[in-house]
Chain A
Amino acid sequence: MERDTRFIWQHKDLLDVDQLSRKETLHILDSATYFKEINTRAVKKVPTLKGRSVVLFFAEPSTRTKTSFDIAAKRLSADTFALAKTGSSLQKGESLKDTALTLQAMNPDAIVIRHNRSGAAKFLSERLSCAIINAGDGRHAHPTQALLDCFTLREHWKEFRGRTLCILGDIAHSRVARSNVKLLCSLGVKIRLCAPSTLLPPGVENWPVKVYHDLSQAVRGVDAVMCLRLQLERQQAGLLPDLREYASRYCLCSEHLDKAKPGVKILHPGPMNRGVEIASSLADHDDSLILDQVAAGVAVRMAVLFLFLTRSKEA
């Protein structure tokens, strides 16, 4: 596929998927398709972003997203600098503002930020002139995850319209769910959410989704199921009685797949709790796209870094 090189990228920052037009979303996905090919080569590196620097500012623990951004940047020949909360001045009580200004003074081209506070990426974007890429802010948004999930599904679906996806688990605390609902809905996918009421966000009745509390009903006739990680502290917060009861109601098992469409796809943004939100056998199932998601993550993040770092400033 040919890339449309005339596409003018407008955005300075990637904060959430709702800032993207349908055309822009598809442009990211198309670009990712192109970059995916690079990842299959023997020499997985192109000079596209040579001389550019990307700061990976992960103020919250992360393995896959951080590694994924790191690999994506390096395969485009950008230099990456990692900054974690532990061992950094943040741990010494430096404010987010001061950390950000310090990083800015080193003149990076982009800062990829992961932070446990909703709105943290926006906070940086309002103060810094470099590109801010949101790699997850609190419960709010995780745009590259949603883009990579879209990318993964598109490889199997070709067309989004008419498809149904069930997102299963802790929606209330999930930035992945929020960004995915926005993005997939905008592309015409019908979304179902399945969770106990205690794990649904306030106002969900006004979201463009169907809400289920019964998993057997929720998966009936769906094209894909996305399981979300259940944080073990939800039990202490009084949101559920215990993991055993949760698993008996909401763990995706093979019997559920029988009710879904044949060839139903299984996704999980990771890290998984096998036997809690997803049966171990399903995680390793032929129709599981969980590792495809990881691979797609690198390609999609290459596309994102490319577009945001080569943006014409005059545009």
Chain B
Amino acid sequence: MAQVDLVVRGALWQGREVDLLVAKGKILECLPYDESREFSSKRQLEGFGLRLFPSFIDAHVHLREPGFEYKENVASGLKAAAHSGFGAVLAMANTQPVNDSATVTELMLDRAKQHWPKGPRVHPVGALTKGLQGKELAPLMELAEAGCAAFSNDGLPVASTELFRRGMEYASDLGRLVIDHCEDPSLAVEGVMNESELSGHMGLVGVPTVSESIQVARDILLAGYLNKPIHLAHIGSRESVELIAWAKEKGIPVTAETCPHYLLLTEDAVKEYDANAKMNPPLRREDDVEAVRQGLRTGVLDILVTDHAPHARHEKETCFADAPNGITGLDTAVALTWSLVEQGVLDESRFIEAWCFGPGKIFNLPVNSFQPGDPADFFLFDEEEAWEVSASTLHSKGKNSPWLGKMLHGRVRAHCIAGKTVV
């Protein structure tokens, strides 16, 4: 028998207890658990009563470095990722300076290597346009060569359909996907929450659902016309889900993501002007939540992401309209979405696909399916462990969670990347 570096005993994978054997950073074998089996491995992890998952990929995070290190930096963001079962994250480009040059991309990669040499890995997402200004394409080849896994103008969507089209075409030559934050900027002007009866009562400017779905329709039609792929970010409204379902039926190369909060919260979360529930796109209504859940179940929405958007406490502690958009998401993501599995909203295999195999396939990243030779990226998850969301339990610098003070179930007990323990 080959040299075994690490053994995980008795953890639950796909409904059965297994013994996982790791050698040289790769999966050697994943065998049904056998009490009598003996190992000579130096390292052994007890997995009894715990679930075994392949490391997840979060294809949409904001790590804030360079420029906004007081909110988060690569080190603290990766700490949250590591402790939450994420072996890789795709980091958006709205840093300061914007990630529209190899210099910034390399800085992000260097920081990751310096602070988390064993992983989690960062895959920067390059800006689609220079300075995210929506006027000229960023040097996409330079960015791809420096290590960008995709391109996006996330947060500052490209208003010009012509420029966006050219971006899709140019990016596809490089084998990179464009991720679009779908929002018609003119329809979302000054909006701070979902446009609805509630926004009318609260006296807050609303963002209508059509500001998202109109852009979703634009992107779908472009992707169909050009026959170039497009990935749609953080989908949260019924119309968008229906449009994507239509596109997929037509065979248009579109993929899409949603976030835990669009599956679990409605606009009611902002009723008390709680800026920790303010994000863009905003939380919608019950009917949208139902459509998003259905979309995720059926694969119309391919993957889950956090849209991890840490902010400093003082930035959120202001009038609702003045607070920045976004919630911290890495730390709470797995526990929140696992609750959907427990409630029967999502089955376990879709859960794993949406967090791991799906993003791996879409962004062409290696994943572990526990087959011999796969990267030994996995974590042990204690679904029973109850914990309170609080400033001290969140590893991210960002404490801006709408779940602050709430009890969640499920925490990561151990996390290995390429066979090496990171947590």
Contacts and interface: CB of A to CB of B under 8 A. Distances in A.
Interface of A: 95-97, 115, 117-120, 122-123, 137-141, 172, 175, 178, 201-204, 206
A97 B195 contact: no
Interface in B384-422: none
Contact of B320 (A97, A119, A141, A175): A119
A96 B203 contact: no
A175 B203 contact: yes
Contacts of B206: 202
Given A95-B317, A140-B202, 20 more contacts: A95-B314, A95-B318, A96-B318, A117-B319, A118-B204, A118-B319, A118-B321, A119-B273, A119-B320, A122-B273, A123-B318, A138-B203, A141-B203, A201-B201, A202-B195, A202-B197, A202-B199, A203-B198, A203-B199, A206-B197
Contacts of B322: 117
Given A117-B321, A118-B321, A119-B319, A204 B273 contact: no
Contacts of B195: 202
A120 B314 CA distance: 15
A178 B204 CA distance: 12
Nearest to A95: B318
A291 to B, nearest CB: 28
Contacts of B319: 96, 115, 117-120, 123
Contacts of A123: 273, 318-319
Interface string B310-326: 00001001111110000
A185 B322 CA distance: 32
B196 interface: yes
A203 B272 contact: no
25 contacts: A97-B317, A117-B320, A117-B321, A118-B202, A118-B203, A118-B319, A119-B273, A119-B319, A120-B319, A123-B318, A137-B203, A140-B202, A140-B204, A141-B203, A172-B200, A178-B201, A178-B203, A201-B200, A201-B201, A202-B197, A202-B199, A202-B200, A202-B206, A203-B199, A203-B201
A204 B206 CA distance: 14
A172 B197 CA distance: 12
A304 B202 CA distance: 23
Interface in B176-227: 195-204, 206
A140 B201 CA distance: 7
Contacts of B201: 178, 201, 203
Given A118-B273, A139-B203, A203 B321 contact: no
A166 B202 CA distance: 22
Nearest to A127: B317
Nearest to A200: B200
Interface in B224-273: 272-273
Nearest to B204: A118
Interface residues of B, number: 20
The 5 closest A-B CB pairs, nearest first, are A203-B197, A140-B203, A139-B203, A201-B200, A119-B273
B187 to A, nearest CB: 12
Contacts of A95: 314, 317-318
A283 to B, nearest CB: 27
A141 B201 CA distance: 9
A178 B198 CA distance: 12
A172 B199 CA distance: 11
A163 to B, nearest CB: 24
B284 to A, nearest CB: 13
A138 B200 contact: no
Contacts of A140: 202-204
A122 B320 CA distance: 11
A120 B199 CA distance: 15
Contacts of A118: 202-204, 273, 319-321
Nearest to A178: B203
Contacts of A96: 318-319
B273 A202 contact: no
B144 to A, nearest CB: 40
B317 A119 contact: no
Contacts of A139: 203-204
B322 to A, nearest CB: 6
B195 to A, nearest CB: 5
B318 A97 contact: yes
Contacts of A206: 197
Contacts of B314: 95, 97
Interface string B61-95: 00000000000000000000000000000000000
A140 B202 CA distance: 5
B50 to A, nearest CB: 41
Contacts of B320: 117-119
Interface string B300-339: 0000000000000010011111100000000000000000
Nearest to A203: B197
A119 B205 CA distance: 12
A95 B314 CA distance: 9
A120 B198 CA distance: 17
Contacts of A115: 319
A172 B317 CA distance: 26
A184 B369 CA distance: 64
A123 B196 CA distance: 22
Contacts of B204: 118-119, 138-140
Nearest to B274: A119
A119 B317 CA distance: 12
B272 A122 contact: yes
A122 to B, nearest CB: 6
A180 B204 CA distance: 18
Contacts of A201: 199-201
Contacts of B200: 172, 201-204
A97 B316 CA distance: 11
A269 B202 CA distance: 20
Contacts of A202: 195-197, 199-200, 206
B199 A138 contact: no
Contacts of A203: 196-201
Most chain B CB atoms below 10 A, which of A118, A137, A203 = A118
Contacts of B196: 202-203
Nearest to B319: A117
Nearest to A119: B273
A122 B273 CA distance: 8
A200 to B, nearest CB: 9
A278 to B, nearest CB: 24
A204 B203 CA distance: 12
